[in-house]
Amino acid sequence: MVKYTIAVLPGDGIGSEIVPPAVNILKKIGIKYDIAFEFKEALIGGAALDAVGVPLPEDTLKVCHQSDAVLLGAIGGPKWDTLPTHLRPEVGALLPLRKDLALYANIRPVILYPELVSASTLKEEVVSGTDLVVIRELTGGLYFGEKKREKTATGERAVDTLVYTTEEIERIARLAFETARGRRKKLTSVDKANVLESGRLWRETLSRLAAAYPDVELEHMYVDNCAMQLVRAPKQFDVIVTENTFGDILTDQASMISGSIGMLPSASIGGQVGLYEPSHGSAPDIAGQDKANPLATILSAAMMLEYSFKQVQAAEDIKQAVASVLNKGYRTGDLVQEGKMVVGTQEMGNLVAGEI
Amino acid sequence: MVKYTIAVLPGDGIGSEIVPPAVNILKKIGIKYDIAFEFKEALIGGAALDAVGVPLPEDTLKVCHQSDAVLLGAIGGPKWDTLPTHLRPEVGALLPLRKDLALYANIRPVILYPELVSASTLKEEVVSGTDLVVIRELTGGLYFGEKKREKTATGERAVDTLVYTTEEIERIARLAFETARGRRKKLTSVDKANVLESGRLWRETLSRLAAAYPDVELEHMYVDNCAMQLVRAPKQFDVIVTENTFGDILTDQASMISGSIGMLPSASIGGQVGLYEPSHGSAPDIAGQDKANPLATILSAAMMLEYSFKQVQAAEDIKQAVASVLNKGYRTGDLVQEGKMVVGTQEMGNLVAGEI
Ligand SMILES: CC(C)[C@H](C(=O)O)[C@@H](O)C(=O)O
Ligand SMILES: CC(C)[C@H](C(=O)O)[C@@H](O)C(=O)O
């Protein structure tokens, strides 16, 4: 019997509502496929701040390093927004966790369930058939460069820095080329090379590596144009690779193709231990109301099975179970469509579990 | 008789096709409203590089400073993409021109002509009734911070810097609050304050200034969420204010609400001389083919009449003329709709001029 340890970090806001259904489904998968999952819960974000005074406790890091994969809910919220930067959940916990686990690649497939085509604000003929994946660089770029804040004679001055080295770009680019190779063989590299120095290095590096992937068609696109093309004609994309902040913006935007950001899973890989989390945030406005959509987290668990444990069939089972529940007409509040049955977070989780 | 001098900078790609129709319409407006316009053409971008070896000749700067307003086409193209950064049309001409003219505010209204509602890839009920304006900070942020490139032991390292001072944020914020005051009184300030130090200063500054505008409702939104909300429910927005790069991305994206980026004008203000240019680029792929949509440039000329010359009625005339031509069923290639007549750049310009 295979054995895997999974670190479970519910975090803040809706985190503690969307993670349990995913854990429950992993348990059912374990029984079905004879995998022994051990779950170790740990504190992160505001929840950790409140309990032990730091957003990313040493213990949590230890649990993550000793696990085979990490399942994360979401972190942050207005309660901790006024803390000094280094204590805030995002800068104090999520970013260092990604860095510490060396997760340089964040993979965000835009999954479009046929049942949800009409839930998108985009026209059916525009979105239907979309099948793309965004590969976001996750431990470099504008998020991780030096930050500072200083007093001036008349006020303050705040600085963030966008840094990339050739090596950082090469490793994410290789992953992107290889991902494209296993799909429709088209790679769109997104930058702002006409203005940014980092964008030029990005573009040059991608162009140089392209020689090693003659079977993959590489195209360069400016980030402003890409934001437009994702609304204009998303079907043109297969694999998109881009800088950390650009990837953050473009994936949230692209989520609208799938009807709701509540549908978008993500896998962060690159180190020994992969991290799986929904692409959405902690949604403080609906926290504690059993309203959140747990499907992005459940689908993130499916990505864990696929990427970390190579359990492709088990991952497929989860995706099928989600499709089946959607097909039966169940929806969470973010996806309200006429004639559909609106259910809460727990109920949605139970429905999916029931299909395994 | 009032007299105004307008610097005309066609630039590259479709620039030399979209500017003449706008100039022609200004001439007709001049006759109708008894305004003596003098047009002074000057070189910029790749066109200037090819002719005199620099992207922003001293002469061009002089012409701009001695004019009452500047009408710009578009700049850049693959021909000049491999030049050293400081010579490239964007970094070598457009950015320094904006800086030199002290144009810290770029105003981009997302104008939705009822005739074009069905041309959008977004559903009619989602876009119809949208009326928003994005105010993009234009001379600071990631575009203007220090850039560098250096060799490392194993490759290279490229750096861009995002800097904002309290003063820079205050002046754009004031303009945004005042713009909102003259409209529906809602201001959405967009940042990434949960990760960026500049975002925190941005958010704090906006919050502090809000006290002086009690009649305006200020809301803060993360840039990733805003990119999503612009696709999900654009009607929620009135005025959006944001950093330079974020504004670049969000406006291109928002252009899809209006059916085509070929419809989006822009005004850059803040100094003595305002600059008016379409929000789109030089479109090298369709340059020289009489295919480009001149309406964004024509509508930019209308913004010039309004912002630089306070000729509100004349500006209104141009907008009406555009509406009327669209209403008669004429479209350029970017807006192909069933049952509509596709016309070229020149023809579209003539049709609008004919309505003045
Ligand atoms: C919470 C925030 C720091 C995070 C990010 O921007 O990385 C989130 O938006 C995401 O996309 O995972
Ligand atoms: C050409 C480019 C430098 C420019 C910008 O990003 O400012 C363009 O995209 C725009 O939006 O005006």
User: Is A215 among the annotated ligand-binding positions?
Assistant: no
Whether A1-113+260-356 and A121-258 share one fold: the answer is yes
* Average of per-residue pLDDT across A176-185: 97
Q: Which of B12, B68, B191, B192 is catalytic?
A: B192
pLDDT value at residue A340 = 86
The span from the CA of A136 to the CA of A243, in Å, is 6
Indicate which of B121, B219, B338 best probes the interface with A, i.e. most A CBs within 10 Å of its own CB: B121
Say if residue A64's pLDDT is above 80: yes
**Residue A17 near residue A262, CB atoms below 8 Å:** no
Band of pLDDT at residue A306, cut at 50, 70 and 90 = very high
Closest CA to B25 of B327, B342, B332, B315: B315
Say if residue B1's pLDDT is above 90: no
CATH of A1-113+260-356, one of 3.40.718.10, 1.10.3720.10, 3.30.930.10, 3.40.50.300: 3.40.718.10
Indicate which of B146, B160, B261 best probes the interface with A, i.e. most A CBs within 10 Å of its own CB: B160
CA B270 to mean position of chain CA atoms: 14
Using DSSP, how many helices (H) and how many strands (E) does chain B show?
Answer: 13, 14
Residue nearest (by alpha carbon) to ligand 2 atom 2: B90
Fold category of B121-258 in CATH: Isopropylmalate Dehydrogenase (3.40.718)
The alpha carbon of residue B149 is apart from the nearest alpha carbon of chain A, in Å, by 7
Taking an 8 Å cut-off on Cβ atoms, the answer to whether A198 and B152 are in contact is: no
Q: Which residues of chain A does B284 touch, with a Cβ-Cβ cutoff of 8 Å?
A: none
Closest CA to B6 of B88, B67, B89, B82: B67
Share of chain A above pLDDT 70, in %: 100
Instruction: For residue B124, count other CB atoms closer than 10 A to its CB.
Output: 11
**What backbone torsions phi and psi does residue B190 show, to the nearest 5 degrees?**
-110, 125
The span from the CA of A10 to the CA of A18, in Å, is 8
**What backbone torsions phi and psi does residue A209 show, to the nearest 5 degrees?**
-65, -25
Query: Which of ligand 2's atoms lies nearest the C-alpha of B95?
Result: 3
Domain ranges across chain A: 1-113+260-356, 121-258
For A191-247, what is each residue's pLDDT tens digit?
A: 999 999 999 999 999 999 999 999 999 999 999 999 999 999 999 999 999 999 999
* Average of per-residue pLDDT across B28-39: 97
Taking CA atoms, A44 is separated from A19, A121, A276, in Å, by 13, 34, 14
For A79-130, what is each residue's pLDDT tens digit?
A: 998 888 889 999 999 999 999 999 999 999 998 899 899 889 999 999 999 9
* Average of per-residue pLDDT across B137-163: 97
Band of pLDDT at residue B302, cut at 50, 70 and 90 = very high
* Average of per-residue pLDDT across A276-298: 96
Tell me the three state secondary structure of residue A69: strand
Band of pLDDT at residue B339, cut at 50, 70 and 90 = confident
Share of chain B above pLDDT 90, in %: 94
For A132-146, what is each residue's pLDDT tens digit?
A: 999 999 999 999 999
Q: Choose among B164, B245, B248: nearest Cβ to A158.
A: B164
- For domain B1-104+261-356, is the CATH number 3.40.718.10? yes
Closest CA to B267 of B171, B178, B135: B135
The span from the CA of B140 to the CA of B332, in Å, is 35
Task: Say what the pTM is.
Answer: 0.96
pLDDT value at residue B82 = 86
